[in-house]
Structure 1
Amino acid sequence: MTSRFFKATKGSVSVHALLSVMVAGGLLSSVAVTAHAQTEEAAAHVADKTNDVIEVVVTSQKRRQRQIDVPVAVNVLSAETLEKRNIQTVQDLSFSVPGLILRYDGPGSSQIFLRGATNIRGSDALVSSYMDDTPVTLTGGFRQVDLRALDLDRVEVLKGPQGTLYGQGAMAGTVRFITRNPSLYTVDGFIRADISSIDEGDTNSKVSGAVSLPLIKGTLGLRLAGAYESGGGWIDQPGLGIKDGNNQDIYNLRAKLLWKPTDDFDMTFTATTYSMKSRFGLDYENPDRTRPVPVSPDYDLLPSRHDRSQILNVTANYKTGIGRLTSSTSFVELDRNYATTYIAGPKTTSAGIQNEGFDGISDRAQQFTQEIRLTSEGSGPWQYTIGAFYKDAQGNLDDKGVSYYAGGTYPFTYRKYDTSRSISAFADIGYKITDKLLIGAGIRSFKDDQTATDLAGTEQKATFDSIDPRVYVTYALTPKWNLYGNISKGFRSGGFNSAGLPAYDPEKLMNYELGTKGIVADGKVRFDIAAYYSKYDDALRTGQFFNFPAGYVSYTRNIGEMEIKGLEGTIDWRVTPALTLSANAAYIDGEVTKLNLGAGETTNFQVGDGLDYAPKFSSTIAADYSFNWATNVPGFVHVDYVYRDKTYATDNSILIPRTQSSDRINLLNARVGVTWSEITAELYVTNLTNENLLVDPYDAWQQSSRTKPRTVGVSLSRNF
């Protein structure tokens, strides 16, 4: 593959005028506040007493369960938590979930990693992303729909292999964005206006809202949600006269229709459309908050970025005598136009030879998925999920760029058209031996047919298949305190290099996990602690070589075996009815333990090398305090602090230092609010101390983002 490392990571999408009108009209509705009944697929948050922590119910195992009963590590962030921590993007989420980290090039260009199972290459994602029942990670692993925090009920992050329950890209975990459901009985919703100012950057304005409309009371309900956002940039490119070039113009609209004609049957129709435009294709940034400056004047011709995506889903549920039968049909389309650059910086070993280049990329992908499953209900001894999943995906990437090397100019054209058709059957069955002890097992049978076609029309084909088991046990020390053990296998399909270079094999991951979850101290403390060991076989890494005159060629290969050990935990303590303290932390340690080399073969890696993109230690601590500013004028204060160790990337490729690193991340954020006469006003500050830190380790080619400067904002909202 020509050019530098990360050409294949960006996106694009258009806005439907009809949805715009529907959302705008819905947001004008204003009625009294009413709590509405959620459907059984929604999460429930229940507290017995005002001084208890909230007992969280999730659907991470495709059935409604208390979080403490799920035999894997799960982090759950409620809508309130997302708002107070100002989590708007997956990048924001990575600072609040222990063990979750990104390769982040900018909005719409990210790859999610969990628990140290990390690499930037592959035919599929290591961590899958879902919006409700729709998988939104497409082929290549780098095609990720840019989900934003719009009218969410919660976010669930499942750690470790999830293949027996999630059909694609779940070798290391799954991130689920759960949207709010329509109400069938009352009109309710919210409207919010937000404006913020970025230190030495532009302002950011955002208007968002949602409304539920019961079209036929008790039977048919519609929920409309939308957001428009503008500005928010801070990166300049003085040589080209560009100020705040990473400003964004965003439209994000969603319609969700719920039809429930009987108590035993319901159907949900969801349509989402998203568009983001930005002058810069990526958030690559120098310490002085400018974009890296190239030698060639041709960079003035680089196109602006435009990401567009659409998501359509129909999910039907029917209660039978043996469980709930579910059908979920989804279609996702992603269209992105952007430019990426690579510029040899002072950290390269280029001995003064100027080497740089750019890529103008058009990337289009679409995906159809169908899942059918039968899930047990109630509290009987048998708990099960049995089903099948089908995916038909394709991606078309076209790249026209230029390499500059040793005074020469070398235009190139690159193309990769890829397809993936996969099918899997899965079953996950647990049995309660006693009221305290449950044992369970799961298995997935998976088959994936892939093709890749290059510019010359050369087609490569391969079929990848796997049997992925899982066994688990839970034991209840008390009705609200469980111990669990879990052994599971993850699998990711292999794929293709440029024609003429050998293909790469699938990756496998065996995960062994012990954990405990519970609510103790008379309901005041909730905790989730897990220790794990993972054996990562045939891990992928990327090498580079210069193919004159085409430029740099990326070569992905299986390097051998890695071992990963980790400990992570989350705790929430309701100190008083007004004060809650929260903390989470993750420790990850691992290394390359074996290299698979043929006779005379070399590699860019050595036994003993550490993990890429895996901080040894990361944590977040937070405090929330509720009080009254005056009679009937409630308020709150929230403070959180984020710490993350350096992340590293190891590579012996040409012109690159063997190991590069990010900075240690320290971020302090705060928010204070007041509700008066049904209006809530909030003042917030992110990155309070204005840290300017390198987030990504790949800095030698000046392809790294940095922490967003201090941002001060005000929001006004009204629920109805």
Structure 2
Amino acid sequence: MKINPITCAVLAALAVTRVSYADGTAQPAATAQPASTSQPAQPDKAGDKSANKANSSQASMLGVVTVTAQRTAEDMQDVPITLQAFTATTLQQQNIVSFNDLIKYLPNVTFAANGPGQGNIYMRGLSTGFLGNQSSASIAPFPNVAVYLDDQSMQFPARNLDIYMADMERVEVLEGPQGTLFGGGAEAGAVRYITNKPDLYKVSGNAEAGIGTTEGGSSNNSAHVVLNLPIIPGKLAVRGVIYNERQGGYIDNVPSTFTRRPTDGGGAMAPYVAAGGTPVANNYSVAQSSWNPVTYQGGRLSVAYQINDNWNALISESYQDLDARGQSSIYPIGADGQALGTNQINAFVPAWNKDRFSNTAWTLNGQVGDLSLVYTGGYTNRHISEQQDYTNYSRSAGGMYYSCTGTSAGLSSAGKPICYSPVGYWNDRVASTHETHELRLSTPDDYRLRAIGGLYYENFNIDDHMNFDYRTIPSCTPQNLTSALAGGAPCVANAMSSPGVMLPDGTAFGEVERRGYKQEAAFGSLSYDIIPDVLTVTGGTRYYHYSEWQTGTEFWTASNQVNVPNGTYLGNDAVMNYHTTYHGFKSRANVEWHITPDVMVYYTFSQGFRPGGFNRTTGAVAKLNGQAQYQKPISYAPDTLTNNEIGFKTTFFNDRLLLNGSLYDMRWDNVQMQFFNPLVLGNTTFAVNGPNYKVDGMELQWHARLTDGLSLIGSGSLNHAKQTNSPCLVDNIPKSPNYNQCIIQTGAAAAVTSFANPFGVIGSTPAFSPRSQVNMRLRYDWTFGDGYKAFWQFGANYTGSMYNQPATYPSGAGVTDITTVELRYLQAGYTTFDASVGLAKDAWNVSLYGTNLGNSHASVFTSSAEFIKSEVPIRPRVVGVKFGYKF
């Protein structure tokens, strides 16, 4: 495991909290105890509540979960926001190892994904659609849901880091804007992965191994080992985990041909078919069953050091290698129009997504007088390599441009009509670094007036090399060029990204670019107990300053490359050298009223935002009678979210029933939207700021101990999101006839067509915004015989129907000749069922589990991103067994 040199310059530490889990058991402190003073430490509110519950009947209690959602340790029931926390026990009981597993238990959270590590998380329906993964590192807006590994930001445009959940203390899911404490990436909420820390006093560990079967696919296997060693008891300890899991493939890449049609290229292919120059491609060399296996491999090593009674330190190194083979999508209709079976696809090139990251994190924690001080930092290095099939692009309006020559062919309109192979693909290589530093000071938790404040610095860099490899017209090698100039078939010179940088043969379009930002921020929050333990008010704000950039080149293949020697630079690229800054304040305030010690109601006002971004080029598009009406902008601004929320958090019947609920009203303004309409708005995606949305909803969480061994746990949401204004795409080119007016028509004089407002209309529904979601599980634990412990559990999850794109995008229903990546599909609602049963004695345990027992094939992401209708199905039924040992 490689440790980054930056760690040599810093210490690391973590103040440890005592956590009581939902099964009613109190877990030992993870590392050094909180720094003590000359006087006995006063227990915090969570500690008081845990101690009180410890004096009650353990069998009847639901337990206490301590979280740090507000940068201080407190009982989840005292946090005035909608929050879910999954403890290590819950993660293990529900067989949760990835976000795809977790989302089943998250109402109001959806996930648009092309596979592991290739998606966006959305909360409360705050989405404007997902276009897919090609060029996402370059063009996708920054996410509006933050992902954190401990205190390190892991956000990434359209590629949320898929963290394998081995040896986790808990996972926290915070809904609603968290801009004050967690910054620009947490506009709609945050997902926080909290790892287990070294125990300074106890040698401990555990191991688990499992095997399983996938319906219609190949087998699964997994293993992980955890070891905690006090090197100097009470002073120095290390903790390590290693893991390996292989999830068998279940999608079959079935043999198929790809035959050009007269309708290809908008009907322009007809003469080529008649001329007999149309080749037929096949995928026989890559066709295989179960071609999408996924492997997670990685580990984490943490070292904790108790410097003295007041100071402790922690340093941690994490590494993960994700290898997803094939594609996670299926095609209902195959490459030649044939109906495909369940979980089948026609792909013509090898495909993969390899995603590797390392993270070094450090924390120093101690006391400065009565104040608690925490300094934490992290450095993440991430590398992605992905390749996906793009053959179906050759059926689009522009596809013939790069694979055919002759009359009306695009690149060369002279000579005999010839079409070369339609097979194409895209290849993306991404490297990124993410450095964060945060310094926090806070007053003691038992002060009537409490304060927390801090400084934050972030440096985020992305380096993207994206190649679209669908040019199959022969390149202008010396031999091909000589033949072409002598009257033979035309050739096309290889693309150049800048003088002296020639792209590989076959690369038609792409970018070599860098983007990122630096952020400096300062934040503070004050809480005052108007009536101690009864009525508390809190207010806080965050000042942020972003310096954002995007540099590099976008390159393309044009007609001036026909019959020109390879290596000739013709200026077919656009240089990006964009920079901007913006700053502002985002605030929050709340009131908590503890009507009784077990009943709390609250009101919360909070604001969030996400960074803006740049477009690759600024071409003039939307032509009317030959004259452009719109100049694509260089940049787009941040969008913002304002949340008003009221809620309650309660326990009843001697802590046998937990019932939490919230009502919210959110206003999402100046929303970032992306467009890709090759026939009208140009052949590259661009983003602008568009409409506003209003989101109203409610959420309910419950946990009931029905008997001493039987529990009913669940949550649900109702969400209503709609557009509240209807801006238009305004003619912004001076001297054009309709300057400063809404664009309503495009096209030539003989074929003028209406132009639908791409921003949508008032009242329309955003993408990935199901009206309802609910999950529920029933669990029974009992003991028998000589110390045997057993359990069974059954769970169900329902997600309502939702669209993949905003309401004004063209419908994909019944469309067979696909010319855009933005078709709108309705993703049907679905229900899945899970169950498990297990037995434990002493240090050993074994469990049998099944997921998606009904074998649903519902799509979680339907798209036309590859110029064919594709669906990402739920993983089929999995049945497995796990064996564990702990000491």
Q: TM-score, normalised by structure 1?
A: 0.89
Matches within 5 A, 1:236-635: 236-239=252-255, 240-280=286-326, 282-284=328-330, 286=332, 288-294=341-347, 299-300=348-349, 302=350, 304-341=352-389, 358-403=425-470, 411-435=508-532, 436-455=534-553, 456-500=574-618, 501-502=632-633, 503-546=635-678, 552-597=683-728, 598=730, 599-601=741-743, 602-635=757-790
Pairwise CA distance, 1:279? 2.3
Distance 1:377 1:242, change over 3 A: farther
User: Does the 8 A contact of 2:528 with 2:537 survive in 1?
Assistant: yes
User: Does the 8 A contact of 2:521 with 2:543 survive in 1?
Assistant: yes
Distance 1:402 1:267, change over 3 A: same
Distance 2:452 2:601 in 1: 22
Q: Does 1:659 align with 2:651?
A: no
Secondary structure of 2:861's match? coil
Distance 2:351 2:227 in 1: 37
Pairwise CA distance, 1:484? 0.5
Question: In the comparison of the two structures, how many residue pairs are matched?
Answer: 684
CA deviation map 1:680-711 (0-9, x unaligned): 00000001111111112425743431111000
Q: Does 1:118 align with 2:110?
A: no
Distance 1:483 1:181, change over 3 A: same
Distance 1:352 1:516 in 2: 60
Pairwise CA distance, 1:639? 1.1
Partner of 1:716: 883
Distance 1:358 1:604 in 2: 30
Pairwise CA distance, 1:283? 4.2
Cα RMSD (Å): 3.1
Distance 1:511 1:558, change over 3 A: same
Distance 1:326 1:66 in 2: 20
User: Does the 8 A contact of 2:3 with 2:360 survive in 1?
Assistant: no
Q: Which moved more, 1:539-548 or 1:264-273?
A: 539-548
Q: Which moved more, 1:624-633 or 1:382-391?
A: 624-633
Distance 1:285 1:475, change over 3 A: farther
For structure 2, the residue ranges without an aligned partner over 5 or more in a row are 5-25, 35-43, 131-138, 256-285, 333-339, 404-421, 474-491, 493-505, 554-573, 619-631, 731-740, 744-756, 811-818
Letter in 1 for 2:368: T
CA deviation map 1:290-322 (0-9, x unaligned): 45325xxxx32x453321100100011112233
Partner of 1:5: none
Pairwise CA distance, 1:430? 0.9
Q: Higher relative contact order at CA 8 Å, sep ≥6: structure 1 or structure 2?
A: 1
CA deviation map 1:199-256 (0-9, x unaligned): 1111111110211100110011111011012242111212223222211232110001
Distance 1:283 1:221 in 2: 45
Letter in 1 for 2:575: G
Pairwise CA distance, 1:189? 1.3
Pairwise CA distance, 1:388? 1.1
Distance 1:457 1:680 in 2: 60
Pairwise CA distance, 1:66? 1.1
User: Does the 8 A contact of 1:122 with 1:540 survive in 2?
Assistant: no
Letter in 1 for 2:305: W
User: Does the 8 A contact of 2:359 with 2:379 survive in 1?
Assistant: yes
More helix, by proportion: 2
User: Does the 8 A contact of 2:676 with 2:821 survive in 1?
Assistant: no
Distance 2:784 2:293 in 1: 36
Pairwise CA distance, 1:36? 3.6
Secondary structure of 1:426's match? strand
User: Does the 8 A contact of 2:141 with 2:613 survive in 1?
Assistant: yes
Distance 1:704 1:349 in 2: 23
User: Does the 8 A contact of 1:486 with 1:513 survive in 2?
Assistant: yes
Distance 1:489 1:405, change over 3 A: farther
Letter in 2 for 1:111: N
CA deviation map 1:313-334 (0-9, x unaligned): 0011112233211101100111
Partner of 1:6: none
Aligned with residue 150 of structure 2, among 132, 149, 156:
132
Q: Which moved more, 1:279-288 or 1:60-69?
A: 279-288
Distance 1:609 1:357 in 2: 36
Distance 2:823 2:141 in 1: 25
Secondary structure of 1:82's match? helix
Letter in 2 for 1:270: S
Pairwise CA distance, 1:657? 7.5
Aligned with residue 678 of structure 1, among 833, 837, 843:
843
Q: Which moved more, 1:78-87 or 1:191-200?
A: 78-87
Distance 1:313 1:283, change over 3 A: farther
Distance 1:231 1:74 in 2: 30
Q: Does 1:62 align with 2:54?
A: no
Letter in 2 for 1:428: S
Partner of 2:275: none
Pairwise CA distance, 1:134? 1.2
Distance 2:581 2:399 in 1: 44
Distance 1:691 1:303 in 2: 25
Distance 1:448 1:343 in 2: 40
Letter in 2 for 1:635: A
User: Does the 8 A contact of 2:792 with 2:838 survive in 1?
Assistant: yes
Pairwise CA distance, 1:76? 0.8
Letter in 1 for 2:874: T
User: Does the 8 A contact of 1:197 with 1:204 survive in 2?
Assistant: yes
Q: Identity across aligned pairs (percent)?
A: 23
Pairwise CA distance, 1:507? 0.2
Pairwise CA distance, 1:181? 1.2
User: Does the 8 A contact of 2:352 with 2:388 survive in 1?
Assistant: no
Partner of 1:11: none
Distance 1:465 1:547, change over 3 A: farther
User: Does the 8 A contact of 1:591 with 1:609 survive in 2?
Assistant: yes
Distance 1:335 1:281, change over 3 A: farther
Q: Does 1:53 align with 2:62?
A: yes
Letter in 2 for 1:603: P
Distance 2:826 2:464 in 1: 30
Q: Which moved more, 1:267-276 or 1:554-563?
A: 554-563
Distance 2:423 2:80 in 1: 49
Pairwise CA distance, 1:447? 1.0
Distance 1:74 1:106 in 2: 26
User: Does the 8 A contact of 2:848 with 2:879 survive in 1?
Assistant: yes
Pairwise CA distance, 1:142? 2.1
Distance 2:677 2:828 in 1: 28
Letter in 2 for 1:181: K
Secondary structure of 2:60's match? coil
Distance 1:64 1:17 in 2: 29
Distance 2:784 2:397 in 1: 60
